[in-house]
Amino acid sequence: MRAVVEAMKQTIGKAGLGRGTKALLELNQMGGFDCPSCAWPDPDHHRSVAEFCENGAKAVASEAMKHTIGRDFFAKHSVAELMGQTDAWHDLQGRLGEPMLLTEGASHYEPVSWDEAFAMIAEELHGLASPNEAIFYTSGRASNEAAFLYQLFVRAYGTNNLPDCSNMCHESSGLALKEAIGVGKGTVTLDDFLEAETIICVGQNPGTNHPRMLSTQELAVKKGAKLVAINPLKEAGLLSFMQPQHLTGLLGRGTALASTYLQVKVNGDMALFRGIAKSLIAAGNTDKDFIRRHASNYEEYRRSVEETSWDEIEALSGIDRLEIESLALSISSGSNKLITCWAMGLTQHRNAVATIREIANVHLLLGAVGKPGAGLCPVRGHSNVQGDRTVGIFEKMPESFLAALERQAGVPIPRAHGFDTVASILAMKEGRGKVFFALGGNFAQATPDTAFTAEALRRCRLTCHVSTKLNRSHLIHGRRALILPCLGRSERDEGPLGPRFVTTENSMGVVQSSQGKLSPASEDLLSETEIVARLAEVTLGDRGAVRWRWLAEDYDRIRNWIEAVVPGFDRYNDRVREHGGFYLPNAAKERRWNTENGMANFSAASIDAFEVKPGRYLLQTLRSHDQFNTTVYGLDDRYRGISGMRDIIFLNPEDLNVLGVKPGQRVDVTSHWEDGERHLNGFRAIPYEMPRGLAAAYFPEANVLVPVGHVAKGSNTPASKSIEVSITPSRG
Ligand SMILES: Nc1nc2c(c(=O)[nH]1)N[C@H]1C(S)=C(S)[C@@H](COP(=O)(O)OP(=O)(O)OC[C@H]3O[C@@H](n4cnc5c(=O)[nH]c(N)nc54)[C@H](O)[C@@H]3O)O[C@H]1N2
Ligand SMILES: Nc1nc2c(c(=O)[nH]1)N[C@H]1C(S)=C(S)[C@@H](COP(=O)(O)OP(=O)(O)OC[C@H]3O[C@@H](n4cnc5c(=O)[nH]c(N)nc54)[C@H](O)[C@@H]3O)O[C@H]1N2
Ligand SMILES: [Mo]
């Protein structure tokens, strides 16, 4: 009930009754627009009138604000003054209404025309010694069309420096799954959930971050599936769920969800899944036929499992052998219809790739990939982060894509790999990256090591952001800085040939259309695609087969290009107009393995976990209920019982005693890494139900503690869920 009330309050409060209600009625409807919040799919068949969650409503409310900020606002507030305000305050100021420029040495942003802005970027890009000195970031809200045109521009200009938010998010999943099953994406659909016998939800907090996933889980549980939660924290959303779309849900007691809740140690998941594998192998409960026909490296894996002792498994995971064995027995007692879902609790660790490989190992043992009711399900964050990757936002796209792009565009496409997010920060810091351009996102706040990254950005000659809302990345700037305001997902995108729609790909590989319906917040806004096309035209001019403006006039033309370059988009323009869109092909779903050896691969790595020195704590950074990444909507975290504050650190109650601090008392937190220490002082210690020795604080505030060099092996994802910290009571 609170979720329903909050959703209405936020939308009507921020966007107004008419605009707010209209926005919600179009949200996730066929023919409407795709929710700009998370990437959980919409039902293929029946959609309810309110096919959204509280947090989707908050995201839409924040975007649908009618109030705009432009020359008057920026004349009134200097950059220094805006730096002193909170992220929540920034978001409340309204939509960015006109292009703004911060000239060298100036204290205030001033208005600039679109033409002048594009000319300035082109001038800076032409002034570089090499295209590889420019960096082009993407956040996961950009549509397929904007993203495709953008990467084409960047590559035609001459670089693969295309870092994205995915580098900090599911990169570890993509890499692990590609090696294991040949596709870096999940293998299940919503229908599979209704057939599953067991659903494991590990390292994820769906109640806050993917609330509509709870409806799916509730249905699955009612159909008899067992839900297993694996999380160091007791997360309310995993325990029970009340379906707000049914009256019984509003008034009743809710469906009990997780039947098993394992409070694993942070980073203990690899050991835990190894324990499951050990039990399955010991009991002979494996799908021998599947392993023989489809999998490679089984013998080596089996030996590695046998060599792993139960002592080690229990010590690293913090879970008893008996519990692990009984879980293994339960998931293998029917037809092995297991789905495992995960998110940042697994991907943002030093051994993230190995951990996700271990989950894949368990699925391969059970033959639980590529059959109804079973599969792997990395739950994506940003609404189009998966689509952006599909259409080329990646610093190391495969040769097949680059060659196809070159053929289609008739311009040379560079092959050398570009910078990912962490490499970009280092390059800017060392003066090798000089122009920073961002299509969405909030790089300065989302990235690790806030002070280090700020210095890196400040060394640039130009920083430029295509954005909908004011954020801190506009304030931590290079010698010159530009803010280019764009249309949001919910807004009408009027082109010279009529209204345009874009397309996005959700977490389950469904490509669908998204058509904004609200009137744009300001007349001065351009669509992201339009911005990219005009910038490309000014910088490069039409060349080869590329006519930038012509492509952007009618997005069908861009979609035809995507179809020509990316496999799986056949009849893109027709199929995306059919109700609900279409599924991209996914070979692993059909048990075809696009790996180097053509088989699904076991990984025989030995287990490990990130360990801290005695007396220190293992800190994870996580999301509250009132934020979308760096956008802070409010100061509450309802499901964890927190209201009105974000400057907090969760600890086990006994650890509070050991530290000699009372609930709410301030503590100083220092993180330790090989390159030195970082500090965050005066945070309030809050007791929470979690294992001893762990700590949790909110992202992005706690990013000051995340060392830039502490990354996941292989994927280079900042290990923002395992930070070694010491904690002392604040003095004074
Ligand atoms: N409302 C809202 N929705 C969002 C977002 C948002 O900010 N707000 N962000 C979007 C994005 S981009 C993403 S990527 C997703 C993120 O979705 P989540 O991954 O759910 O987000 P986090 O808050 O980072 O949650 C991490 C969870 O993992 C647990 N965890 C931490 N370490 C470990 C570990 O070692 N093992 C296990 N088993 N669990 C662990 C934490 O206790 C926490 O419950 O959400 C998306 N949806
Ligand atoms: N410590 C720590 N750090 C983390 C994480 C963590 O768990 N812990 N999580 C990581 C993860 S999973 C992710 S995905 C990244 C997120 O990193 P980002 O994607 O860079 O950050 P967001 O906060 O999603 O970006 C918000 C900004 O995007 C702009 N925006 C919103 N909608 C649009 C739009 O439609 N178009 C355009 N052009 N701009 C728009 C607004 O100006 C807004 O201020 O952060 C990562 N950082
Ligand atoms: Mo994410």
Q: Please say if the pLDDT value at position 249 is more than 70.
A: no
Q: What is the pLDDT of residue 47?
A: 75
Beta bridge partners of 651: 687, 695
Domain at 173-378, CATH class: alpha beta
Where are the chain's structural domains?
Answer: 117-169+384-587, 173-378, 617-729
Starting at the edge strand found earlier in the chain, the sheet holding 502-505 runs 502-505, 510-514, 582-583
CATH for the stretch 117-169+384-587: 3.40.50.740
Query: Which atom of ligand 1 lies at the shortest distance from residue 235's CA?
Result: 44
- Which pLDDT belongs to residue 3? 74
Ligand 1 atom with minimal separation from the 623 CA: 23
Q: Which two tokens stand for residue 30?
A: 């066929």
Residue 87 has pLDDT above 50, yes or no: yes
Instruction: Output the average pLDDT for the chain.
Output: 94
- Please list, in sequence order, all residues whose beta carbon lies within 8 angstroms of the beta carbon of residue 518, skipping any fewer than 6 positions away: 19, 22, 23, 64, 490, 491, 492
Q: How many CA atoms lie within 13 A of 31 on its CB side?
A: 1
Quick one: average pLDDT of 116-144? Answer: 98
pLDDT interval class at 251 (50, 70, 90):
very low
Q: Which of 204, 262, 342, 625 maximizes ligand 1 atoms within 8 Å of its Cβ, making it the mutation to test the pocket?
A: 204
In short, whether 95's Cβ falls inside 6 Å of ligand 2 is no
- Binned at pLDDT 50, 70 and 90, residue 247 comes out as very low
Q: Which ligand is nearest to the CA of 344?
A: 1
CA distance 477 to 460: 8
* Between 31 and 469, the higher pLDDT residue: 469
- Asked if residue 255 lies in contact with residue 240, where contact means CB atoms within 8 angstroms, the answer is yes
Whose C-alpha lies nearest to ligand 2, atom 32?
Answer: 468
Please tell me the distance between residue 106's alpha carbon and the centre of ligand 3 in angstroms. 34
What percent of the chain has a predicted confidence (pLDDT) above 70? 98
pLDDT at position 70? 97
618 lines ligand 1 (CB under 6 A): no
- Nearest residue CA, atom 27 of ligand 2? 441
DSSP for 16-76, please give it: -HHHHHHHHHHBTSTTSB--SSB-PPPPSS---S----HHHHHHHHHHT---EE-HHHHHH
Q: What is the pLDDT of residue 253?
A: 57
DSSP letter, residue 117: H
pLDDT of residue 345: 98
| C-alpha–C-alpha distance, residues 501 and 304, integer Å | 51
**How confident is residue 257, by pLDDT bands cut at 50, 70 and 90?**
confident
| Residue 4 pLDDT level (bands cut at 50, 70, 90) | confident
pLDDT at 651 over 90: yes
Among the four given CATH numbers 2.60.40.10, 3.40.190.10, 3.40.50.920, 2.40.40.20, the one describing domain 617-729: 2.40.40.20
- Segment (H or E) for 148: helix 144-157
Task: Count CB atoms within 10 A of the CB of residue 75.
Answer: 12
Ligand 2 near 529 CB (within 6 A): no
The reply to whether ligand 2 has any atom less than 6 angstroms from the CB of 442 is yes
Count other Cβ atoms within 10 Å, centred on residue 598: 11
Q: How far is residue 367 from each of residues 68, 364, 388, 414, measured CA to CA in Å?
A: 54, 5, 30, 40
Distance 141 CA to ligand 2 centre (A): 9
The answer, yes or no, to whether residue 266 has pLDDT greater than 90, is yes
Query: CB within 8 A of 540, min separation 6: which ones?
Result: 153, 156, 157, 548
Q: Decide: 381 in ligand 1 pocket, CB within 6 A.
A: yes
* 267 Cα–ligand 1 center, Å: 14
Q: 254: pLDDT confidence band, cut at 50, 70 and 90? A: low
* Model pLDDT for residues 319-330, shown as the tens digit of each residue: 999 999 999 999
478 lines ligand 2 (CB under 6 A): no
> For 113-140, what is the mean pLDDT?
98
Q: Is 348 helix (H, G, I), strand (E, B) or coil?
A: coil
Of the pLDDT bands very low, low, confident and very high (cuts 50, 70, 90), residue 6 is confident
pLDDT at residue number 18: 83
Closest CA to 490 of 8, 37, 5: 37
205 CA distance to ligand 1 centroid (A)? 5
pLDDT given at position 697: 98
Please check whether residue 65 is in contact with residue 95, taking contact to mean a CB–CB distance below 8 angstroms: yes
pLDDT at 241: 62
Q: What is the pLDDT of residue 22?
A: 84
Pocket of ligand 1 contains residue 382 by CB under 6 Å: yes
Query: How many whole angstroms separate alpha carbon 408 and alpha carbon 545?
Result: 7
For residues 636 and 698, give the distance between their C-alpha atoms in angstroms, rounded to a whole number: 12
Q: For residue 539, which amino acid is it?
A: T
443 lines ligand 2 (CB under 6 A): yes
Q: Is the pLDDT of residue 244 over 70?
A: no
Contact 703 CB / ligand 2 (< 6 Å): yes
Whole-angstrom Cα distance, residue 446 to residue 437? 15
Task: Give the closest residue (by CA) to ligand 1 atom 19.
Answer: 344
d(CA 216, CA 48): 13
Alpha carbon nearest to ligand 1 atom 33, residue: 345
Q: Whose CA is nearest to atom 18 of ligand 1?
A: 204
Query: Do strands 134-138 and 435-439 pair parallel, antiparallel, or not at all (unpaired)?
Result: parallel
725, pLDDT greater than 70: yes
* pLDDT given for residue 250 in this prediction: 44
Which atom of ligand 1 is nearest the CA belonging to 347? 19
Looking at the CA of residue 166, tell me the nearest atom of ligand 2.
Answer: 14
Q: What are the beta bridge partners of residue 725?
A: 617, 671
343 Cβ inside 6 Å of ligand 1: yes
Q: How far is the CA of 262 from the centre of ligand 1 (A)?
A: 17
